Chains A and B, each alone.
Chain A
Amino acid sequence: MRDHESDGARARRWLYGPAIAWFALVGLGLLATALDGDAWGSLDRSRSAVAGSSACRSCHPAAYESWRRTYHRTMTQRAGPPEVVLAPFAGESIDYLGFRATLTGGAAAPRIVITPAGGGPPTLEADVVMTVGSHRYQQYLARLDRGGGPEEVWRLPVAWHIGERRWIHLNAAFLEPEGAHGDASEYLRHLSRWNDNCALCHNTDPVPGLQDSGEYHTRVGELGIACEACHGHGSAHVARHQNPLRRMLGARDPGDGSIAHPGRLSPGTESGVCGRCHGNRISADVDAVLREGDGFVPGEALADVSRPIFLGSSVASDPEGTRALFAQRFWPDGTPRLSAYEYQGLLLSPCYQEEAPGGLGCNHCHDMHGARPELQVRAGMEGDAACLSCHDRDALGGGDRPGGHGGHGGRVTCYQCHMPRTTYGLLQGMISHRITSPDPGALVGRGDQPDACTQCHVDRSRTWAAEAMAGLGLAGTSPTRAPAAVESWASRVVLDLVGGDPIQRGLATHALARPEATGADAGARMAWLVDALEDEYPALRWMAWRALKRLAAEPSAVAPDRRAEVTAALAEFDTLAEPSERLVIIDRLRAALGAGAFAARPERREQLQEQQERVILWIGE
């Protein structure tokens, strides 16, 4: 009997021994991990190195895949793989300002040669090594030693417009006058160095690497905007999480100090992660940035390394000059009017809540890991939903009901009034990220800033808008100034289109082709826009041409017997062509679409244009 029991014990030992040993091992491992100080708590993330997005993939496959779909990933890419270069590079040529750019080599070996139109040695020859952008237009980079050493990379002067599938010259992508014909320095105005410009906001962990010798030894953690641009350097996080027991024990620990999770940061701190690139700023130490990068650690305050540019900002080395330069980027009330100032718009918004958990920051409306890369709006925050997640529709008087808040019913969204398209960027009008309430009364008598009302009511004046506010029961400033004399000549948008500064002209052009434009039929709007095809700024001619194409697609915009002529003329129009060639087509369009806004009173048009010429601005993309 004793032997029988010992056989049973032996069987139990064999059958359960390995499992018991496993539990003992795991128990010890869990205990050791729980007590390991290095496995828990915050660490100095500024000392961590970039691990690369591939290191994130194994643990975060869904986040990796959603990031792979974004335009952030393809912001900067190495040329070579066939899917990277979007332009044909199949022998196309672009003639502009007395030079011809010829693009050859296909996607695998793209090459550009620029020669004077009258013959002579090439002005520039280069192989494309990298691309910047993949959403609206794609720019091309080449390695050219122009005094900054063999690692110097320069942006080339032509780009591929993805939506229109056309080459554009970068003089026509910035809001600036054309430049002198035949002048190589004007033609190459936007041949700009990547190492200390584009590299800083279009890559992960960029280090310009400017040496005392003037050479650049530029390094980036990863091309494009990858995981660690928003989450911070990841090597310490990866090392900590090599231990699977740490990962399991930490599953319920939301505060892992080895990496930043913007979704768990305060609105102010998480918005700083976006503001690093989506809010132009002045670095605390520019020389250090050019040597070693900006030193920003996502999850820490952006203000530690820089300050955002606002109206009135200046740089100590040239206070007056920089104050005037920066002022061009804002409307007189301080609202940013260029893209890449979205962060400033947010900071100026009354809804912004710097420290309130769940308060308004970038993350409230945007999601970098959502299903749709376009605009990256968070699921459930599309349209009015973003505002209604905080504001109660009924308490506001039911904006979607006739006679409710705003008085427009469901036809008008929260955005259209509170985030109007008064920002210019990338050849289009964009919504303002400064959340405001329309107040056209405060702008009566002024022509230096657009308002939300007349951007949609394109046939109306600002005085009309101010009076309409009162009629709708909306709060607004009572006009303190008399309407400007020109206000009786045309609607606010038409006055901006003809006599505004370049940004106003661009925004007016954009507004006239928007689906929400009301008060003037598409045919009338097209007739007004034809005048803008004569603008001295090539970027604004492009916007007018594209606006006309959009309107021409509307069934009622053009009389049936003239549709073919309008379509053909728009197809032939080249915003970069010589003025005489453009005028021929503009005349054809005028004949088909009718006279413009001031055909009966040309002196008024001239007076507005004289006003326009006094406010010439040279301004960024």
Chain B
Amino acid sequence: MSPERHLRLSVGLVAVFLAMGLWLEAMIGLRLGGWVDDELRREFLRLGHAHGGLLGLVNVALAYALERLRTPAAWATRVRVAAWLGALLVGVGFVAGGLLHGPTDPGLPVLVVPAGALMLVVSLVATALVRPGDLAPPDVAARASEQR
């Protein structure tokens, strides 16, 4: 994934999950039974809304960090995909778990939330640890050495 696409998709993620807030507010305002009477659904839709939006912002920050830290392309392109997918899985997992919940617990889709969280956390850790010269291909490393 290119840096530009990552940034655009991350901002898009924020936009989608923030827009979801309008839906939640409308449900409160209209006193829709499926929302007002269903505490478990309400809780998980809120979790999805909050996590999706915030983790979208984390992706925006990550997009800038990857550029700023000059993370090697082999890592950076994959970190972008994993981090964005992770944020999406967390947000969508909460929402789908809330919409399809049982009498006491969220539905099975919520099981993708930990997977998404793991992908995002590992992406952040990799961004923090992988340096510009690490794991670069030999020809790229040689050219970099010549330039110096």
Interface size on A, residues (CB 8 A): 28
Given contacts A3-B138, A4-B74, contact A59 B126 (CB under 8 A): no
List 28 A-B pairs, Cβ < 8 Å: A1-B137, A3-B137, A4-B74, A4-B137, A7-B75, A7-B137, A11-B126, A11-B135, A12-B78, A14-B126, A15-B126, A16-B82, A19-B116, A19-B119, A22-B114, A26-B111, A60-B103, A61-B39, A244-B105, A247-B104, A247-B105, A248-B107, A248-B108, A248-B110, A251-B101, A251-B102, A251-B107, A252-B102
Q: Is the CB of B122 within 8 A of A18?
A: yes
Q: Which DSSP category, helix, strand, loop or mixed, fits chain B's interface?
A: helix
Within 8 A of B (CB), among A1-40: 1, 3-4, 7-8, 10-12, 14-16, 18-19, 22-23, 26
8 closest residue pairs by CB, A with B: A251-B102, A4-B137, A19-B115, A15-B82, A59-B104, A18-B118, A7-B74, A247-B105
B residues less than 8 Å from A11 (CB atoms): 74-75, 78-79, 126, 135
By beta carbon, the residue of chain A nearest B101 is A251
A residues less than 8 Å from B10 (CB atoms): none
Q: Is B52 an interface residue (CB 8 A)?
A: no
Q: Is the CB of B135 within 8 A of A16?
A: no
Please measure, in the bound complex, the distance between the C-alpha atom of A16 and the C-alpha atom of B86, giving whole angstroms. 10
Q: Is B98 an interface residue (CB 8 A)?
A: no
Q: Is A385 an interface residue (CB 8 A)?
A: no
Q: Mark B56-81, 1 if CB is under 8 A from A, else 0.
A: 00000000000000001011001100
Picked from B86, B106, B126, B136, the residue with its CB within 8 Å of the CB of A248 is: B106
By beta carbon, the residue of chain A nearest B102 is A251
B residues less than 8 Å from A61 (CB atoms): 39
Q: Mark B81-112, 1 if CB is under 8 A from A, else 0.
A: 01000100000000000000111111110110
Please measure, in the bound complex, the distance between the C-alpha atom of A8 and the C-alpha atom of B126, giving whole angstroms. 13
Q: Is the CB of B78 within 8 A of A15?
A: yes
Chain B, interface residues (CB within 8 Å), range: 20 to 34
Within 8 A of B (CB), among A27-85: 59-62
A residues less than 8 Å from B114 (CB atoms): 22
By beta carbon, the residue of chain A nearest B100 is A251
Binding site for A on B (CB under 8 A): 39, 72, 74-75, 78-79, 82, 86, 101-108, 110-111, 114-116, 118-119, 122-123, 126, 135-138
Binding site for B on A (CB under 8 A): 1, 3-4, 7-8, 10-12, 14-16, 18-19, 22-23, 26, 59-62, 241, 244, 247-252
Q: Is the CB of A8 within 8 A of B78?
A: yes
Besides A23-B115, A252-B102, 9 other CB < 8 A contacts? A7-B74, A7-B135, A8-B74, A12-B78, A15-B82, A59-B105, A61-B39, A247-B104, A251-B101
By beta carbon, the residue of chain B nearest A27 is B111
By beta carbon, the residue of chain A nearest B129 is A14
Q: Is the CB of B105 within 8 A of A248?
A: yes
Q: How far is the CB of B128 from chain A (nearest CB, A)?
A: 13
Q: Is the CB of B108 within 8 A of A14?
A: no
Q: How far is the CB of A292 from chain B (nearest CB, A)?
A: 32
Please measure, in the bound complex, the distance between the C-alpha atom of A269 and the C-alpha atom of B104, giving whole angstroms. 25
Given contacts A60-B104, A244-B105, contact A19 B74 (CB under 8 A): no
